[in-house]
Chain A
């Protein structure tokens, strides 16, 4: 699948257009002062990690769900690891807590979607159980499990929808507990209770403080615009909600100005025009906030207007403000954010000199460091910086290097970016470039002075000589330079081919088989099930065969020549992206494949030869085959005139004839010739497409 995506990218890179093909790189947001990945409820995970410590290495998160499935009546007999561990440690305090927790989990209403719907008595009992669990949890006087019991109280209140009780419990008890993941969990429940008791702004502020993106988005859904930001600032210049709202505005501005809509669409132009007022308004407002001096986070406001200015093409203001933001007050994340945004903005107005390359190299290394990204942990501790790295490299740096006439450096940076994010753009470019460009890239890797950026990027390029020879030979073959390909392919050992995905096909598909008479279909799903046993490198044999065949054709005449041309047409078609032996010229195949710019036109060359044979031969069998083969080529490369169509009246699929197709005209021509020739040929009489055609036309 990855290769399919990669192949669809080939043309995109060639044209410097990033939004074609079936896949578009995510529009990663650059502005991040509010860690959007904190929404994962880390406190719950951390709280649950308690059990990891308690029961040891055998812990699995599935055990948490399993624990809720232990029937309270079976609790004492249960061999659930939590219960077993508590028993083994003779931890009676823990056993009492677990028993209570188990009762809560069994009666918290989660069973509403089970087949056995609870009876009225069971529902009443459930309510009683929740109240009983709550009272027992409130009665706990110990210290060891104080946090867990407090959380249990709040969960009971939440289940019973006693939101005010939770607000009160937080204010009187839970807020005074020491800072633990349990307290974070309780705080989140408290914020929910505030929301449900009408204190929506207060709830939003807590969700914002906690980084609970899902909840905050819901709470402030009516304020996610400039007007909302102004209102929030007016009520409290240091409202935690502003951190979310400002980031949301900047990200949405990026989406608006940077989205992949066709700028020629009138509606898009109109929309951007309207939104421009808000963008200008935001830049002015951020300036006003900074001037007033009431905010404790000027770094955020300065970076926000700087990045909006960058997107708004005010490059001078953008660089100045993003630089300045790093020296203003704010959290470290706000300052890091300004630095990351500055990196992207700087590329826009940069020049290809050592200063720039040294700066970019240092900043890319810093992104890895601040994001906790290492060769063994590509996701890092904070994925945002990996996203910045992607956008800076793929979307800013690589296009810039192309515009500076540095395609080889761009390719090396792609290799580095791919290694960073498991991408496939480098592979796509390598697959697309011509043999000459590929040779230049190969030479570039080992020659001349390089900038610091190039040196860092080249370290990611893995190009052993054998891979180069194989790729170079294949490229020449693909370009129709069969003689030139031979010396490269001769150097490629069979073991190298056997390691590739194409070996499954190479070992099983014979390019000498006439494709118009018999197709060689194989299941791609069995690719990894069956071992490929190659006896020769078919690419090399193919090139030698083609060279020899051309020599034979050059000296042949009459029907012998026509026979040889028929053979060559088949060999050409087989090696095309449409042929059964596509593995000769490609490393992967997809239904979306098209003729590439650096590729010999195997399909049309085959078709021309077939036409030539048809016109020159006086042998009726050869003529018939050449017309039959042309009909095949036309059908395969446009659309077949007989297709299954769904009939809504009979609700079945039926063969339908499409008259206005090149294939229909080709079939008519073939049919006329065949009928008049009085020939009886098995490959024609067995052809199911011809049979269907006849059934619909006779």
Chain B
């Protein structure tokens, strides 16, 4: 009998080892990412939050980058010009550029936590219970990143807070990072340089090879889906750049030659408004602009495939991102199919 008990306990431990402690994040709610450098919400964005009963906003607070002296520095810190509607929980999110991980990232763990807490206090953002770290870490930087996360997690726990992280598809094949849960990013899954056949934002063929890792992944997961589109500039078959909200209906510059395809008819240089230095994107006559976004049906299909492999992963869905220019890419009904199928 004693042996049978041991076998049962061993079996239970084995199962616990294979599966996450919980298949669903705590207190799941419809959520959005806010990924701009200044916080202002217009009526369309506020309406979206209200229509979909959004309960959480993952707000990018700042990035961590290397400065010219190879020092780790906060960059592109968000400025707050607006308040977040009451009842919505804010989850500060910090993006860390991968190359920072090789420059003593663990040393900034206390600085980062302190900074986030100070930003909450300065801008009266109350009820913050969690911090999220976003990083495209690789096998090479895994060890440094995990050590850093461990430190951040410990510091947050001392303050009664939790840590979440983003997980990219390729990271599913690796060890799970030390965090309370992960957000599986279901966007930017393809290769921009080879997007003639596949949708580089989200394509089922890029997702499928990774589905097998889902059931055994040892970290609670929720999923984030895209609502954005890209204007991709190509010269011949060669990918050149992503354009920034170009008016493709300007017939002096572009001609529509297909459903989502525009031909550049006049060469022009476009200032890159997203860049910190004055750089330009050069469009040459004959270049092509492809507008890509995942079909709503494709999103639903992938959403359901994830649920099949790992029930609970869609209990909380995050839409990337809350932005007036992206919201209308899908209908209210499309969003609800993802938020509340």
Contacts and interface: CB of A to CB of B under 8 A. Distances in A.
B74 A115 contact: yes
B122 A113 contact: no
Contact of A117 (B108, B118, B255): B118
B108 to A, nearest CB: 8
A117 B115 contact: yes
Contact of A278 (B111, B264, B266): B266
A268 B73 CA distance: 45
Contacts of A253: 266
Contacts of A225: 250, 252-253, 266
Contacts of A112: 77, 79
B143 to A, nearest CB: 14
A469 B104 CA distance: 57
Given A214-B271, A224-B268, A119 B118 contact: yes
A130 to B, nearest CB: 16
Nearest to A217: B271
Interface string B85-108: 000000000000000000000001
A521 interface: no
A227 interface: yes
B296 interface: no
B75 interface: yes
A634 to B, nearest CB: 32
Contact of A119 (B75, B121, B139): B121
Interface in B109-127: 111, 114-115, 118-119, 121-124
A268 B285 contact: yes
Interface centre among B139, B235, B265, B288 (most CB of A within 10 A): B265
A261 B286 contact: yes
B286 A271 contact: yes
B184 interface: no
B16 to A, nearest CB: 27
A261 B268 contact: no
B121 A265 contact: no
B33 interface: no
B253 to A, nearest CB: 7
Given A115-B74, A265-B286, A275 B266 contact: yes
B284 A267 contact: no
Nearest to B115: A117
A578 B238 CA distance: 31
Size range of the interface on B?
A: 35 or more
Contact of A123 (B62, B122, B270): B122
A261 B235 contact: yes
Interface string A78-122: 000000000000000000000000000000000011111111100
Contact of B236 (A117, A120, A224, A265): A265
B22 interface: no
A261 B236 CA distance: 9
B111 A271 contact: no
A117 B123 CA distance: 11
A267 B288 contact: yes
A73 interface: no
Contacts of B111: 115
Contact of B122 (A119, A226, A271): A119
A256 interface: yes
B267 interface: yes
B90 to A, nearest CB: 16
A270 B263 contact: yes
Interface in B239-264: 247, 250, 252-253, 255, 263-264
Contacts of A227: 252
Contacts of B250: 222, 225
Contact of A275 (B62, B74, B108, B265): B265
B244 to A, nearest CB: 11
B211 to A, nearest CB: 15
Given A113-B62, A255-B284, A118 B122 contact: yes
Contacts of A224: 268
Contacts of B139: 651
A115 B267 contact: no
Contacts of B123: 120
Given A119-B118, A218-B271, A256-B266, A275 B73 contact: no
Interface in B277-330: 278, 282, 284-286, 288
Interface in A251-291: 252-253, 255-256, 259, 261-262, 265, 267-268, 270-272, 274-275, 278
Contact of A271 (B121, B252, B264, B270): B264
Identify whether the interface residues of A are mostly helix, strand, loop, or mixed. Answer: helix
A252 B266 contact: yes
Interface centre among A214, A218, A255, A262 (most CB of B within 10 A): A255
Contact of A113 (B73, B114, B285, B288): B73
A113 B77 contact: yes
A125 B53 CA distance: 38
B251 to A, nearest CB: 9
Nearest to B273: A218
Nearest to B235: A261
Interface string B20-44: 0000000000000000000000000
A423 B302 CA distance: 55
Interface centre among A221, A227, A261, A271 (most CB of B within 10 A): A271
A113 B264 CA distance: 38
Contacts of A115: 73-74, 108, 111, 114-115
Interface string A114-143: 111111100100000000000000000000
A262 B123 CA distance: 55
Given A117-B118, A261-B286, A268-B285, A274 B267 contact: no
A106 B284 CA distance: 44
Interface string A235-258: 000000000000000001101100
A541 to B, nearest CB: 48
Nearest to A262: B236
Nearest to B252: A225
Contacts of A259: 267, 284-286
A260 to B, nearest CB: 8
B30 to A, nearest CB: 30
A252 B73 contact: no
Contacts of A119: 118, 121-122
B278 A214 contact: yes
A147 to B, nearest CB: 27
Contacts of A118: 118, 122
A383 B122 CA distance: 49
A389 B69 CA distance: 39
B7 to A, nearest CB: 34
Given A115-B74, A214-B278, A252 B252 contact: no
Interface in A268-319: 268, 270-272, 274-275, 278
Contact of B268 (A123, A252, A270): A252
Contacts of A651: 139, 173
Interface of A: 39, 112-120, 123, 214, 217-218, 221-222, 224-227, 252-253, 255-256, 259, 261-262, 265, 267-268, 270-272, 274-275, 278, 651
23 contacts: A112-B77, A113-B73, A113-B75, A113-B76, A115-B108, A115-B111, A117-B118, A118-B122, A120-B121, A120-B123, A120-B124, A225-B250, A253-B266, A255-B268, A256-B284, A261-B285, A265-B236, A271-B264, A271-B265, A272-B286, A274-B263, A274-B265, A278-B266
10 closest cross-chain pairs (CB), A and B: A268-B286, A255-B267, A225-B252, A271-B285, A274-B265, A117-B118, A256-B285, A256-B267, A271-B286, A271-B265
Given A255-B268, A268-B286, 5 more contacts: A217-B271, A218-B273, A225-B252, A259-B284, A271-B255
